[in-house]
Structure 1
Amino acid sequence: MPGTMVRPPGFNVQQMAARPVAVHWRGSLEAAMLVLSLLVLPCLAASDRVVSVADLHGDFGHAVAILRAAGLIEEGSNESLQGPDGRPFVRYKGARWIGGSTTLVQTGDMVDRGTYARDLYALFADLRQQAAAAGGQVVNLFGNHDLMNLQGDLRYVSPEDEADFGGAAARRAAWAPTGWVGRQILEEFRAAFLAGDTLFVHAGLLPEHVEHGVDQLNEKFFKQLRVSLSGSWGANTELLKSTGPLWLRRFATGPEARICSQVAKALELAGAKRMVLGHTQVDNGVVRLRCGGHLVMADTIISQDGYPMCWQPGSLQAEGCQGSLSYVEVRDGEAVAVRLPPAGGAEGEALEVTPLPVKTPIGAGEL
C-alpha cells in the first residue's frame, strides 16, 4: 500500500514480523569510451543500508514519491532550473540527498513509454554527486531500454518524451555519446552491481556472465558496448543480446526446476546470496520471490505514465496487471520489500513492509 517516510532511528529489518508493518510517512565516441576503458567499477563492501528501485519508464512523479518514502531525498523548488541544453525542466526542480551513507541502486529502464525521462536522468545525475559527497552512493544500472536509446532504437519513445527534450533533433543530440544524457550513461552506468551479499542487475545474470566476477563483467560489457556503438555486431557482443544481463527472461519466466541451479551457480561465482531484478514485470504489484528467495523480482510496474492501463481500478482483472510503488531494502544482510500507499493516498497512510527471506541452500526440497 503506497509517500514520504519518517524512518525511526535504529530501524532494523530483523525486528519486523512477517505481516505488513505500519511505518508512518510524513567529446567523441572514442573519447567517451576511453574514459570507460580506464574506469574501474568496484563492488561495494557490506553496506549499512541499500535501497533499490526498479523500472521507472519516464514516471518522474512516482520516482520522487519512492525516493522520498525511502528517506533519501527532499524535493527542491527551483522553477528556473535548466538542463545542460539550456531548456527548463518541466518536473525537476532540484533535489537534496538526505540519505547519508545509504547506497541507492536504480536497476535500469528510466526511459521509454513515459514522458519525463529527461527529468529523471537529471535527477539521478545530481543525486550521484550529492550522495558521494555525503558518504553514500547512487548507482545506475543499464536497462535494455537505456541501451536501445543509445543504439538509436526509438520504438518505445513516446511523443511526449520527444517533446520534453525539445524535438527529435534535440533528443538525438542529448543521447549522442557526447550529449549530456548519452555521456553520463556511458561514463556512470553499470551492467551489474554487487552490494554486500546482494547482486543487482536489470534482467538476470547467468553463471558464464560472472565466471570472473562482477568487475570483469562490467569491463567486458563496456568493451562490447563500444563495438556495438561503432556499428559492429557479432559473437563479441553477446552481453548485449537476448541472453545478456539486460534482456534475459529465463530466470523470471522459466520453471524453477530448470533455472534455480543456474541462479545458485551465478550467485556462488559472484559471492552473493540473492539477485534482485527488474525488467520482467510482476502482474499483481507485489515483489515476488523465486528459488527460495534467492531471486527477487522487483518490477511492480511503477510507471503509471508508461502503463496507464495497469493503474485503473480493477486493472488486474480487466488488463491482467496492477501497478504499485515499491522498493527493495537490504540492511545487515536481510531484505524487505516496501510498498507505498496507492497514488493519491492520504498523508499518514502506512507503508507495507514485507520480509524477503532466503532459504539456503537452493535445492529440490527448498523450491
Structure 2
Amino acid sequence: MASEPAVARPSFDTAGLEVVADSLDDGPHIYWQSDSAAIAFYLCDGSVAKQTFLVSDTLRFHGFCGDSLTEYVVAARTPEIQPSIYEDVPKIFVVSDIHGEYAAFVDLLVSAGIVDQDLHWRWGTGHLVVDGDVFDRGDLVTESLWLIYRLEREAIRAGGRVHFVLGNHEIMAMQGDLRYVNKKYMDGIVRRTKIMYQDLYGPHMEMGRWLRTKHSAIRLNGILFVHGGIGPHIVERGLGLEEINAQAREHIDLRSYQIAFDEVPIFWYSSGGPFWYRGYYEPKEGWYMHATPEEVEAILDYYGAHAVVVGHTGVEQVKSLYDGRVFGIDIPLNTLGSFQGLLWEGGVFHRVTGGGELEELAGHL
C-alpha cells in the first residue's frame, strides 16, 4: 500500500465487537489497521463477526455473513485517482440517486444489459456512470457500494469503465450529516460497534479511501456529468474541471465548524455548489436564478461540452431540457416503481426504462 498522509488512524475497539445486536445485517466493512493488516467486519444475525487479515498485495476473502459465494477483492495499495476526461467512448449508460435501493438498481442494470444475471459486467468497452447519491434513505447502501466497487474492476478488465461521481449524500455521509441515514444503520452497526457512521467511511476504511478518489464532475465525449449541476457562478470563478475536483476533494474531511467560517468550503457545500445546485430547474432565493438558455450554453462552452447530465432534482422520467443541452435523470423510486437510465450511443441519447426499453431523446452531438 502506498504511504498515506500523516493522519492518525482511528482507534476502533475491535475487541469489544462481539456483542449481541438486533438482526440488522450489514457489511462487510474493511478497516486498514496498517499498510499490511486489515479487519473485515459485519453485523450478522445480531452479532458482529470479524476477521483479521495480513496483506502483502491484494486482500481476497469470501463473505462470512450469508454471502459466502461472494469473493471480495481489495488492493492493499491506496486506490488511484482516475482521469476525469475521456474521449472516444463507444457507449455511455448513466443512472443516479440510487439511495440504497439495491434491488431496483440491479434490475435496471440487468434490463439495460450492463450486467448479466449473476451481476457481472457484460457491457464490454462501454462506460457506466453512477451520477451520485448512492447513500441514505434506503437500507442496502453497503450492497450497492460493493456492487459498484466490483464492477469498476471488472469493467477495466473488459476495456470499459465505471465512474462514480460524488453527490451531496456521499459528502453528507463522510462529513457526518446523518439526517437521511436509514434507521437500520444507526440502530444496527453504529450502535453495536460504537463506530460513528461517518467513520465507517473514513480515510482508513476501504470504502472511505475509495470514495475519496472519486470526482465531483467528469466529461465523457464532450458530455458533462455532475450530480447537482454547474451554475454560472462557478464559471465566473474561473474553475476548470480539474480545479472543481481538486478543491472539492480537498475539503471533504472538513468538519462543520471549519466549513461554517471559511468562504471556500461554504461555496462547495452550499446550495450553489455542484453537489446541491438545482438552477437548471428553478431559482433559489439568495443563491442563484433559474439558469437561462444563454447561461447554459456559456457553461457548456467553458467546459468544452455539448450537454450536461445531472441527478439530484427529481423528475417524473429521464428528460431532456434546454433543447437537449441538459438531461435530468433522478427518478425517485416511488414515482415509477423502478429506476430509469440514460444511454448515449452513436451520438444519440435514449431514455432507458426499468424494463430496458429505449426511447430516443432530443440532444446535441
Q: State TM-score, norm by structure 2.
A: 0.70
Out of 221, 237, 255, the residue aligned to residue 248 of structure 2 is: 221
2:84–2:215 contact (8 Å) kept in structure 1:
no
CA 69–229 in structure 1, closer or farther in 2 if over 3 Å, else same:
farther
CA 200–115 in structure 1, closer or farther in 2 if over 3 Å, else same:
same
Root mean square deviation, CA, Å: 2.9
AA in 2 matched with 1:177: P
Q: Measure, in 2, the Cα distance between the counterparts of 1:195 and 1:107.
A: 13
Question: For structure 1, which segment, 178-187 or 228-237, has the greater mean C-alpha deviation from structure 2 after superposition?
Answer: 228-237
Which residue of the partner structure matches residue 32 of structure 2?
A: none
CA 292–96 in structure 1, closer or farther in 2 if over 3 Å, else same:
same
Which residue of the partner structure matches residue 120 of structure 1?
A: 144
Which residue of the partner structure matches residue 246 of structure 1?
A: 275
Which residue of the partner structure matches residue 106 of structure 2?
A: 64
1:118–1:164 contact (8 Å) kept in structure 2:
no
Cα offsets for 1:341-360 (capped at 9, x unmatched): 3xxxxxxxxx4322121369
Cα offsets for 1:288-307 (capped at 9, x unmatched): 222111111111113xxxxx
Which residue of the partner structure matches residue 46 of structure 1?
A: 88
Which residue of the partner structure matches residue 132 of structure 1?
A: 156
Cα offsets for 1:64-104 (capped at 9, x unmatched): 1111112121354xxxxxxxxxxxxxxxxxx4211111100
Name the SS of the counterpart of 1:355 in structure 2.
strand
CA 258–213 in structure 1, closer or farther in 2 if over 3 Å, else same:
closer
Which residue of the partner structure matches residue 309 of structure 2?
A: 276
Q: Measure, in 2, the Cα distance between the counterparts of 1:338 and 1:330.
A: 10
Please state which structure has a larger fraction of its residues in helix: 1
Q: State TM-score, norm by structure 1.
A: 0.70
Which residue of the partner structure matches residue 35 of structure 2?
A: none
Which residue of the partner structure matches residue 201 of structure 1?
A: 226
The percent identity for this pair of structures is 25
Q: Measure, in 2, the Cα distance between the counterparts of 1:177 and 1:329.
A: 33
Aligned pairs for 1:109-188 within 5 A: 109-162=133-186, 165=189, 167=191, 169-170=194-195, 171-187=197-213
CA 257–150 in structure 1, closer or farther in 2 if over 3 Å, else same:
closer
Please state which structure has a larger fraction of its residues in strand: 2
Q: Measure, in 2, the Cα distance between the counterparts of 1:235 and 1:54.
A: 29
Which residue of the partner structure matches residue 267 of structure 1?
A: 300
1:47–1:195 contact (8 Å) kept in structure 2:
yes
AA in 1 matched with 2:339: L
Q: Name structure 2 gaps, 5 residues minimum.
A: 10-76
2:131–2:227 contact (8 Å) kept in structure 1:
yes
CA 163–65 in structure 1, closer or farther in 2 if over 3 Å, else same:
farther
AA in 2 matched with 1:294: R
1:118–1:165 contact (8 Å) kept in structure 2:
no
Q: Measure, in 2, the Cα distance between the counterparts of 1:281 and 1:120.
A: 20
Q: Measure, in 1, the Cα distance between the counterparts of 2:91 and 2:138.
A: 30
Which residue of the partner structure matches residue 81 of structure 1?
A: none
Which residue of the partner structure matches residue 358 of structure 2?
A: 353
Name the SS of the counterpart of 1:182 in structure 2.
helix
Which residue of the partner structure matches residue 50 of structure 2?
A: none
Cα offsets for 1:183-207 (capped at 9, x unmatched): 21112x2101101021111010124
Cα offsets for 1:245-280 (capped at 9, x unmatched): 100111122499743222111111111111111100
Q: Name structure 1 gaps, 5 residues minimum.
A: 1-26, 77-94, 303-309, 311-320, 342-350, 361-367
